[in-house]
Amino acid sequence: MSEENIKMAEEKKKTAPEEYFRWGIFGITMLLLITATFQLYFSTQEVIRTWFEWQYVSIFESVYNLVIIVLCIYIIRLYVFRKQA
């Protein structure tokens, strides 16, 4: 009987309005985070074009993009693959 109570409690927890509210807030926050990330990325590209001479802009943009790629790969390895293991 206690096993049935545990299953019922888990089902009730999954359908609780608070859980939907938390997922909704999480989704809205993630959308805001993605928007802010893209704006930061493109603003940084503009700063590179403003601060550096035109001959060196492509070099600095390449280095910046490489740093972003390495950072993203690190974050993916840290949070996605480690949680699966």
**Token pair for residue 43?**
């603003």
pLDDT in 10s for each residue of the chain, 85 residues: 566 666 666 666 666 788 888 888 888 888 888 898 899 889 988 998 898 888 888 888 888 888 988 888 888 888 777 765 5
Compute the distance between CA of residue 63 and CA of residue 14 in angstroms, rounded to an integer. 45
For 52, which DSSP code? S
Compute the distance between CA of residue 78 and CA of residue 16 in angstroms, rounded to an integer. 31
**Token pair for residue 58?**
């492509």
Q: Would you kindly state where each structural domain of the chain is located, as residue ranges?
A: 1-51, 52-85
pLDDT for res 13:
61
Three-state DSSP state, 16: coil
pLDDT for res 25:
87
| Whole-number Cα distances in Å, 41 to 6, 46, 53, 84, 85 | 47, 9, 20, 29, 32
